[in-house]
Chains A and B, each alone.
Chain A
């Protein structure tokens, strides 16, 4: 027995000696860079909040000269929510916007519901194809009442990206925003997210709104009325996760003018540029990320001055996965998309021609987003093994883990602090208690699980397995709010 264990023991010993410092250093560097992003984000927020009073939103809302916005809403089997979602978009406060619904070959009553509720008639006009699409159009509908700005495209099933590309062909306004049928939008969301375009029409090419967790919130007629912490374990943890990496991380990147990832759930673009870039890549699994990278590349190659801006103000709410199975699918897909996009644009990485995007943002995503789960997993395996074989003693192992995770908790606390000082959407003391508890709790179990899922996604990408679209099982807001 010992003959087997002894070489294993010395192997582990060797591994520990080789990796202890690098792994620890990695943990410290990754969290420090997150912390730096949070500091940048708070600079970004302070500027935003001080300017809020003279936002001019009221004036933009009433001006006939505000840029028009086409809201693109792909829908696949959304019959239960589609009528309310469209109504919510039509009711948004904005002087000139239309909604373009793309029915992606739904097998349920999505199309019929729209036809009935909005009194649609078939529109026999043809469409100029500016972005190539795969799915064949079956019919296009518009409201009998021409004052109602709604267009519905009924087409064969071809996926979200291809549906959005079809929407781009039909959209008629200068700006386009992509929303999911199940996203909940604040009444002022279009005003808030389009504001950079109004203030700096020459340079702003894209803006991304922040997406927040809708689980647990009280929702009435497609709007979030009361913000609450969800009861569900997974949803709760994702609130802190979203606050930390999505909201704060991205605000930080925006401050550096090297935001490379805009959330697909609420990104606004200039229509002419997105068409010139060729629309979304229907083969990409991280299509939103891919699009923004392509725009960056296009603008930098043309040596044009441009800005991609992140809007920290919470305006879009979405239901996040509340079961391990759905969450696993989502994370595998995200990581797979990350790998695909990073490798596709590898020539930009460390390429000074691409400025801070190439020199800072892309390397960061390679080292700290892509590889992170591998390091994490390595730690999960090696520390218990070392303990078991007596290479390290218990206090030592605990201290080692504590350093790594205490820093992570500290970063989460800083994120909570910035949120508390800026938007404070979670107003109750109890919410803060939950958030604090979750910041600790996520380090035990959740982190490790997501690391495994992300590795699985990466592995699937490396093996070139065909992409599988995870369908999301929704619990419905009515249940969540009770």
Chain B
């Protein structure tokens, strides 16, 4: 089965970079530019994985995950959070909200792709 991945980031450059990298690894990628759209897409589609930035205008990545998990029925898709350097609080909040893993920016797209493969293999 072809895995479908959702990438949520307000920074179009990073969004496209991640999407390009994942597409080249053979995944179907959809993107969203903010948390609200991301939440809507994640609720109405079945993705194998969501990758989200934390800091976004409107809904933050952590809030998005929190609302996904609190939805009825809950959206249980694995989430990788992209966090900024030295923002341990985001990581704590992220795990409290139910993320699967995190990657610290500046990040290596190659490493991110490896983590994605690891999570999808489980």
Give the interface of A toward B (CB within 8 A): 61-64, 87, 91, 93, 95, 147, 187, 220-221, 223-225
The interface-forming segment of B13-21, B68-76, B82-90 is B82-90
B85 touches A93 (CB 8 A): no
Q: Given the complex, which residues of A lie within 8 Å of B63, measured CB to CB? A: 87, 91, 221
Contact with A along B81-114 (1 / 0, CB 8 A): 0001111010010000000000000000000000
Measured CA separation A64–B86 after assembly (Å): 8
A147 touches B36 (CB 8 A): no
Decide: A95 near B86, CB < 8 A? Known: A147-B92, A221-B63, A225-B34: yes
**B55 at the binding interface (Cβ < 8 Å):** yes
Q: A-B pairs with CB below 8 Å: how many?
A: 36
B92 touches A62 (CB 8 A): no
B85 touches A187 (CB 8 A): no
Sample of 18 further A-B pairs with CB below 8 A, known A147-B92, A224-B57: A61-B84, A62-B84, A62-B85, A62-B86, A63-B86, A64-B86, A91-B62, A93-B55, A95-B86, A147-B89, A220-B34, A220-B59, A221-B35, A221-B58, A221-B59, A223-B57, A225-B34, A225-B58
Q: Would you list 18 pairs from A and B whose C-beta atoms are within 8 A, ordered by A residue?
A: A61-B84, A62-B85, A62-B86, A63-B86, A87-B63, A91-B62, A93-B84, A95-B87, A147-B92, A187-B55, A220-B34, A221-B36, A221-B59, A221-B60, A221-B63, A223-B57, A225-B34, A225-B58
Measured CA separation A62–B89 after assembly (Å): 12
Report the nearest B residue to A186, measured CB to CB.
Answer: B57
The 8 A-B residue pairs with the shortest CB-CB distance, nearest first, are A220-B58, A62-B86, A62-B85, A225-B58, A221-B59, A91-B60, A225-B57, A223-B58
Report the nearest B residue to A59, measured CB to CB.
Answer: B85
Q: Given the complex, which residues of A lie within 8 Å of B36, measured CB to CB? A: 220-221
Q: Smallest Cβ distance from B118 to chain A, in angstroms?
A: 27
Contact with A along B19-41 (1 / 0, CB 8 A): 00000000000000011100000
Q: Smallest Cβ distance from A59 to chain B, in angstroms?
A: 10
Q: Smallest Cβ distance from A62 to chain B, in angstroms?
A: 4
Query: For chain B, what secondary structure do more than half of its interface residues adopt (helix, strand, loop), or is it mixed?
Result: loop
Q: Given the complex, which residues of A lie within 8 Å of B89, measured CB to CB? A: 147
Measured CA separation A300–B37 after assembly (Å): 53
Q: Given the complex, which residues of A lie within 8 Å of B84, measured CB to CB? A: 61-62, 93
Report the nearest A residue to B89, measured CB to CB.
Answer: A147
Q: Given the complex, which residues of B lie within 8 Å of A87, measured CB to CB? A: 63
Q: Given the complex, which residues of B lie within 8 Å of A223, measured CB to CB? A: 57-58
Measured CA separation A95–B58 after assembly (Å): 20
Measured CA separation A93–B55 after assembly (Å): 8
Report the nearest A residue to B54, measured CB to CB.
Answer: A91
Measured CA separation A224–B36 after assembly (Å): 13
Measured CA separation A6–B86 after assembly (Å): 81
Q: Smallest Cβ distance from B83 to chain A, in angstroms?
A: 11
Measured CA separation A90–B58 after assembly (Å): 14
Measured CA separation A312–B92 after assembly (Å): 34
Q: Given the complex, which residues of A lie within 8 Å of B92, measured CB to CB? A: 147
Measured CA separation A24–B60 after assembly (Å): 54
Q: Smallest Cβ distance from A185 to chain B, in angstroms?
A: 12
Q: Given the complex, which residues of A lie within 8 Å of B57, measured CB to CB? A: 187, 220, 223-225
Q: Which of B34, B35, B58, B89: most chain A Cβ within 10 A? A: B58
Q: Given the complex, which residues of A lie within 8 Å of B35, measured CB to CB? A: 221
Q: Given the complex, which residues of B lie within 8 Å of A95, measured CB to CB? A: 86-87
Q: Given the complex, which residues of B lie within 8 Å of A93, measured CB to CB? A: 55, 84
Q: Smallest Cβ distance from A481 to chain B, in angstroms?
A: 12
Contact with A along B44-82 (1 / 0, CB 8 A): 000000000001011110110000000000000000000
Q: Smallest Cβ distance from B65 to chain A, in angstroms?
A: 13
Q: Given the complex, which residues of B lie within 8 Å of A220, measured CB to CB? A: 34, 36, 57-59
Measured CA separation A147–B94 after assembly (Å): 13
Measured CA separation A64–B87 after assembly (Å): 10
Report the nearest B residue to A219, measured CB to CB.
Answer: B58
Measured CA separation A220–B62 after assembly (Å): 15
Measured CA separation A63–B86 after assembly (Å): 7
Report the nearest B residue to A188, measured CB to CB.
Answer: B55
Measured CA separation A113–B38 after assembly (Å): 27
Measured CA separation A64–B60 after assembly (Å): 22
Q: Given the complex, which residues of A lie within 8 Å of B58, measured CB to CB? A: 220-221, 223, 225
Measured CA separation A91–B60 after assembly (Å): 8
Measured CA separation A377–B55 after assembly (Å): 50
Q: Smallest Cβ distance from A83 to chain B, in angstroms?
A: 12
Measured CA separation A94–B107 after assembly (Å): 20
Q: Given the complex, which residues of B lie within 8 Å of A62, measured CB to CB? A: 84-87
Measured CA separation A250–B29 after assembly (Å): 48
Q: Given the complex, which residues of A lie within 8 Å of B55, measured CB to CB? A: 93, 187
Report the nearest B residue to A58, measured CB to CB.
Answer: B84
Measured CA separation A91–B63 after assembly (Å): 10
Q: Smallest Cβ distance from B13 to chain A, in angstroms?
A: 15
Measured CA separation A175–B57 after assembly (Å): 25
Q: Given the complex, which residues of B lie within 8 Å of A221, measured CB to CB? A: 35-36, 58-60, 63
Measured CA separation A62–B92 after assembly (Å): 16
Report the nearest A residue to B60, measured CB to CB.
Answer: A91
Report the nearest B residue to A218, measured CB to CB.
Answer: B58
Q: Smallest Cβ distance from B68 to chain A, in angstroms?
A: 14
Q: Given the complex, which residues of B lie within 8 Å of A225, measured CB to CB? A: 34, 57-58
Measured CA separation A64–B35 after assembly (Å): 28
